[in-house]
Structure 1
Amino acid sequence: GYVGEAPATTAVANGMVRVKVLAQVNTEGSAIVVDKDSSTSTILDLRGKTVAVPGYSTVQDFLLQKAVAKWGLKQKDVGITVLKPPEMIGALRTGQIDAFIAWEPYPAKAQTMGVGKVLLYSRDIWKDHPCCALVVSEAFLEKRRKDAIAVIKAHTQATDFINQNPEEAIAIGVKYTGMDERTVRLALKSVNYTYHLSVEGEREYVKFLTSLKYIKVNDPDVFVKNFIDQSVLKEALAK
C-alpha cells in the first residue's frame, strides 16, 4: 500500500510490522502554513508558537524537526500538537494553532480558502526528500512476487501518465476529489511524482529518526539495505 516513508521506517525499526519498500510514490509535497495575516516570515518566528503536525514520526513531523534544527532553533522552542490534516485549516483560522505542516492538498486549500500562506515548502527544508512510498509485507512478497511486480508495474505506468499528461491529471484530480481546479493545480505544483527509490533519502530518515530517539538503529546501512528492495522495481521496468 501507499504510506509515508518516515512512519513506515519507524514501524519497521520498532518491530511493529515486517514490510519492504518497493517503489517511491513522490518526493516533496508538504508545506508549513501560517495565518495569511500573520507577521511570521521565517522559521525563527515560530519560537514560542504552536505548530500542528499530523502525528509523531510522520514525514511532516520529521520535516518540522529538521527545519527547527536547520535554522538554529531547539526542539523546546516550538510547541507541537497533533491534529488530523482536515482539522488544521479550521484550527488555524480560529487561532487554536499558529501554524501547521501537512501534505498537499491542505497547504493549497488553506491558500485558496484565504486562510493561510506558505511559510516554507518542504523542498526549502530538504530538497527532493522522499515522502510516500509503496510498501508490501514480506509475507506477500515471498508468496506472491509476480503479483507484487504487477502492482509496481501499474504504479510506474500511472506515475508516467501523471508526469506526461499534467492537464489531464489535474482534471482527474478535480473529478475524484471534489476540489476546485485552482486548489488541485496549486497542490500538484509542489509534488514530484516518481517511482525511483531514494536509498540516500531513506538513510537520512534513519539517522535523523534515531537522533530524535523515535527509533534505535545501530547500523543505518544494514537497515536500509534490508528495508528497501530494489529488485521488484527493476523487474517491473524490464517488462
Structure 2
Amino acid sequence: MKNIRKNLLLVSAILFMATISAFKYPAAEVIKLGFIPLTDCAPLVAAKELGLFAKYGVNVELSKEASWANIRDKVLNGELDGAHCLYSMPMSVYTGIGGKAGSEMKIAMTLNNNGQAITLSKDFCGLVGFKDLKKVNGAIAEIKKRKEVTFAMTFPGGTHDIWLRNWMAASGVNQKSVGIITIPPPQMVANMKVDNMEGFCVGEPWNGVAVAQNVGFTHIASQDIWKNHPEKALVVNKDFATNKKEDLKKVMKAIIEAQRWLDNMSNRKKAAAWLSKPYYVNAPVSVLEARLLGSNDLGCDLGVQKYKDDYMTFYNNGIVATPKKSYVMWFLAQYVRFGMLKSAPDYKGISEKLVLDDLFAEVAKEMSVPVQPDMQAFKTTLDVNFDPNNIAGYLSTTKK
C-alpha cells in the first residue's frame, strides 16, 4: 500500500508540474501557411522539413490548397495567415481583376525567381520549336483551320497570365483571336490530355510532367521571357502583418535560411524527394529534380535545354528575397497594357499599400541579407525598357 501511495503522489506531482509548465510556457499558437503544389513552394517545405520554423520559435502548419482562388479566399478571410502566392495576385485582387477590389494581401518577401514555362500541345510539334517566336502566329493560324485555339493560365492577372500575354505580344499574336482560360496548376496536364487547351503557362513541375507523359513540349521558359523575374511571394493577410509582426519576422527568417539551403545545388536532390511526397507536390521525383537542377527535357525531339545561371533560384546571394514596388508597378502596367484595366491605377499608392518593404528591411538587417535597390528602370527580355517613374512613356511604346 505504501508503494502504491508513493506512486500516486509521484504521478500527482508530475501532473501538477506539467500543468504549471503549460501555464508558464504555453504552446506556440499555430501559424497556417498555404501552398499550391508547385516546385517553387520549396522554401516553405524546406523550412518545415529542416525544422527551421521551430528553430525561430514559430509553430507553422503547411496547408496544401487546390487553387489560387482558394489561397486568395483563405488569406483574406483569415483561414490562412499567409501563403506561397503568385507575386502579382495581390495587385490583381486589389484592382478587382481577380477578386473584390480593395482587398489587401500584403507582400512580405519574394520566394523565388524563374522556373515557369509555356507548354504547347503536340498539335504544335513540328510547326514551332524552342523559343521560336517568329513561327508562333503562323502555327496558331494553321491549327485554327481545324479547331479553335485556347491557352490556359492559373489566375487572372497572375504571373502565369502575364508571362503568357507577354509571350503572345512578342510573337505577334492578337490575344482576342484565341481563348484564355483559368486552370489550377495540378490540373493542367490532365486538361491538355483531353484537348481542353492547346497550350498553358504554369510553374514546374507541370511543364516537365507534360513532357514526361508525352502530352506536350516546353516551348519557352519564363526566364527566357524575363531573366530572374519575380515569381512567387510570401503573401500574408492584413491582420497577421499588423498584429503579429514579430511572428511574421520569425517566419521570414526561417524561410530565408531555407532559401539559402536550397541554393546550395547539392541540396536540391533532397528537396526534390520532399516535394515528390503526396502531401506536397505529388509528382515524379525525377522531373522535380531535373528542372530544379536546370536540366529541361523539352520534348518533341527538341533535346535538353541546360540553364546555367537562370534556373529556378531561391536566394542568389541575397538578390531574390527583396519585395520591390517597381515590380508591383510593372504588373499593374501590364494590366493597363492588355486591357484588363481601362484606366491607369494609382501605381505609387497601391505599391506602398501592398509591399511590406520596411518590415523586410528589418528582417534583412537581422539576417545579413542585402536589400536590393528599388524604383530603378529595368528591361525584360521580350519587352522594352520599363521606368517606374515614367509608366505612361513605357505604355506608349509597348506591343499589345
Structure 2: unaligned runs, 5 residues or longer: 1-82, 295-310, 315-319, 367-400
Contact conserved, 1:67 with 1:125, CA < 8 A, in 2? yes
Contact conserved, 1:19 with 1:227, CA < 8 A, in 2? yes
> TM-score, with normalisation over the residues of structure 1?
0.88
Kindly provide the CA deviation profile for residues 126-181 of structure 1, in whole angstroms up to 9, marking residues without a partner as x: 22221111122233222111111111111111111111222332232234544322
CA displacement at 1:217 relative to structure 2: 4.5
Cα pair distance change 1:160/1:132, threshold 3 Å: same
Cα pair distance change 1:199/1:121, threshold 3 Å: same
Cα pair distance change 1:84/1:20, threshold 3 Å: closer
* Aligned residues with identical type, % of pairs: 22
CA displacement at 1:195 relative to structure 2: 1.9
- Runs of 4+ displaced beyond 4 Å: none
Aligned residues between the structures: 239
Kindly provide the CA deviation profile for residues 59-111 of structure 1, in whole angstroms up to 9, marking residues without a partner as x: 11111111111222221132222323333213323333211111111101111
**Which SS does the other structure have where 1:73 is aligned?**
coil
Contact conserved, 1:35 with 1:92, CA < 8 A, in 2? yes
Q: What is the root-mean-square deviation of aligned Cα atoms in Å?
A: 2.2
> TM-score, with normalisation over the residues of structure 2?
0.55
Cα pair distance change 1:10/1:158, threshold 3 Å: same
Question: 2:106 pairs with 20, 27, 31, which one?
Answer: 20
Q: Indicate the larger mover: 151-160 or 194-203.
A: 194-203
Letter in 1 for 2:251: V
**Which SS does the other structure have where 1:166 is aligned?**
helix
- 1:155-174 residue pairs with structure 2 within 5 A? 155-164=255-264, 165-174=267-276
Q: Indicate the larger mover: 114-123 or 89-98.
A: 89-98
Question: 2:140 pairs with 46, 50, 68, which one?
Answer: 46
Aligned to 1:2: 84
Aligned to 1:235: 362
Contact conserved, 1:34 with 1:92, CA < 8 A, in 2? no
**Which SS does the other structure have where 1:238 is aligned?**
helix
Q: Indicate the larger mover: 109-118 or 30-39.
A: 30-39
d(CA) in 2 for partners of 1:78 and 1:145?
45
Q: Indicate the larger mover: 166-175 or 99-108.
A: 166-175
d(CA) in 1 for partners of 2:345 and 2:90?
18
Structure 1: unaligned runs, 5 residues or longer: none
Aligned to 1:208: 334
- 1:89-108 residue pairs with structure 2 within 5 A? 89-108=189-208
Q: Larger % of helix: which?
A: 1
* Structure with more relative contact order (C-alpha pairs < 8 Å, separation 6 or more): 1
Cα pair distance change 1:109/1:58, threshold 3 Å: same
Determine which structure has more spread, i.e. the larger CA radius of gyration: 2
